[in-house]
Chain A
């Protein structure tokens, strides 16, 4: 097994609705979909963020688009209006998700680095 950044195999964008952050995560190549599906579970994402995301994380799978939508509740320190964070709208939550480390097999790694 090897460790890579999710950023190596995925792209996406973050948005906000009040204190809820959504991040869509798409496979950079169709073959990477199954790696994301296996590795980026709501539990794994919660472990990645710790108490930065205080509420539930829900994953919606979108195989026809080759991606996933993650909805993270109470994730923005109160949301745009109330958050004391510099990034009160969570514009950088997308890249924060991409910073997650994921495990891949040697064969998968060979494909990714090819």
Chain B
């Protein structure tokens, strides 16, 4: 029976290349897909591209994956898919072309998919009466329209599949849905129709279990993290699909774990309603799904169902919201928390005198409550003998100069505040705050195209 295996090579922009390279060398796979894009990544790339038109994609895909493993993958006929194109798909394609040419890979076929970025179509869509309603909050899109960095639709697997149909050895996209990168090879190999909802759903869930890399193989594993073998050589997950079965495993001779609990933790990661997990390709229903251990580092996924895909596409709009400054100061025993609190009070009184107009201030204490906030243990018992504590003050303002006011006020507290204050990391900087406007757009507003460039 035909079996197709796909590896997950990257979980985000900045991930380690080790597992991907190990997989290319040692695993029996036909495809590898590398996800680089989180919710905010496109806005960061758009901002980089504004400063330098040559930027705006994830160069790591070329410098850390292809350079060290791309030629071997090509020789072994392992085809690679990635959304590393980000905001600058053609820039990414050109970097790959240059690498392939210098590696002497004549005939290497680079497929790429364009059309997810629709920023320039916004005025026309507004004129036609489209309102870009916000999923999460009330608000008028017209108020942010001048501050937009990027506007990208989450596109599905169809054009990625078309690149594979045309023989691409590597496929580059922009804001394709993460899981679409993984669905496309399965749909291509098994000839799944675009309304074969149950099979499309299986392909999507394979992608879902792989798109976060190590998190699908024992990374970030709450069930029993101490038991994960060789975390320093953590393998990333591999999905194997036949017409009848859907299994998750990993490459031989690497660390990590594939078991029911590790897969279950990833299975619902960033899923909202499990009966309606929306993707551009299919509405997935995993509300009755099963996960069963069938061998060492091997689980089988069952009962994944699909329903008709949504009519509209999710749109990720990133825009300028304001500015923030994060300042820190550390204190040691005795009374570390009390001193840090007292110091926060001193700083805020000074800032009131300086007339700082912050739209929001968030004060927390690293080592005490900066992660768990309300649910941290604040009992006298847990605080009285604290070894150390770091005061953290974050300030947000729409006005950059307001955020800057607190910067010079922190280090003087070493001499002017409670005893033992230690300033570290240098003076804070004002950072830009970007926000997302989650909305949707009709499919026909997009012109998605598949292309092939042969080296």
Interface of A with B (CB < 8 Å)?
A: 11-13, 15-20, 22, 24, 26, 28, 48-52, 58, 60, 62, 64-67, 69, 71, 73-74, 77-82, 84-87, 91-92, 94-96, 98-100
Contact = CB atoms under 8 A, between A and B. Distances in A.
B71 interface: no
B40 interface: yes
B274 A64 contact: no
9 contacts: A11-B265, A13-B220, A17-B39, A50-B374, A65-B289, A71-B273, A82-B396, A85-B364, A86-B392
Contacts, number: 141
B270 A26 contact: no
Interface of B: 38-40, 43, 135-136, 215, 220, 222-223, 261, 264-275, 286-291, 303, 318, 321, 324, 326, 360-362, 364, 366, 370-375, 392, 394-396, 433-436, 438
A100 to B, nearest CB: 8
Chain B binding site: helix, strand, loop or mixed by DSSP? mixed
Given A80-B40, A81-B40, A95-B222, A69 B268 contact: yes
A60 to B, nearest CB: 5
A86 B291 contact: no
Contacts of B272: 17, 20, 22, 69, 71
Contacts of B271: 15, 22, 24, 69
B397 to A, nearest CB: 11
B223 A11 contact: yes
A84 B265 contact: no
Given A16-B270, A62-B274, A69-B268, A99 B375 contact: yes
B394 A84 contact: yes
Contacts of A69: 268, 271-272, 274
A48 B270 CA distance: 21
Contacts of B361: 84
Given A13-B266, A65-B264, A67-B268, A99 B372 contact: yes
B371 A92 contact: yes
Closest 7 CB pairs of A and B: A15-B270, A84-B362, A24-B268, A84-B394, A52-B374, A11-B223, A13-B265
A105 to B, nearest CB: 25
Given A13-B220, A84-B360, A85-B362, A65 B291 contact: yes
Contacts of A85: 362, 364, 370, 373, 394
Contact of B222 (A12, A17, A66, A87): A12
B89 to A, nearest CB: 23
Nearest to A77: B362
A8 to B, nearest CB: 13
B371 A86 contact: yes
A91 B220 CA distance: 9
A77 B452 CA distance: 44
B222 A13 contact: yes
Contacts of B135: 18
Contact of B370 (A20, A87, A91): A87
A49 to B, nearest CB: 6
Nearest to A85: B362
Contact of B366 (A24, A71, A86, A94): A86
Given A69-B268, A71-B272, A87 B371 contact: yes
Nearest to A19: B136
A64 to B, nearest CB: 5
A99 B369 CA distance: 13
A87 B266 CA distance: 19
Contacts of A94: 222
A78 B433 CA distance: 11
A74 to B, nearest CB: 8
Contacts of B43: 81
Nearest to B273: A60
Nearest to B328: A86
A76 to B, nearest CB: 11
B51 to A, nearest CB: 19
Nearest to A83: B362
A92 B265 contact: no
B224 to A, nearest CB: 8
Contacts of A87: 370-371
A13 B219 CA distance: 11
A84 B406 CA distance: 15
A10 B135 CA distance: 31
B288 A64 contact: yes
A19 to B, nearest CB: 6
Contacts of A11: 222-223, 261, 265
Contacts of A81: 39-40, 43, 318, 321, 433-436
A82 B136 CA distance: 14
Contact of B321 (A16, A66, A82): A82
Given A26-B264, A64-B288, A51 B374 contact: yes
User: Which of B136, B223, B373, B392 neighbours the largest number of chain A CB atoms within 10 Å of its CB?
Assistant: B373
A90 to B, nearest CB: 10
A21 to B, nearest CB: 10
Contacts of B396: 82, 84
User: Which of A22, A28, A60, A65 neighbours the largest number of chain B CB atoms within 10 Å of its CB?
Assistant: A65
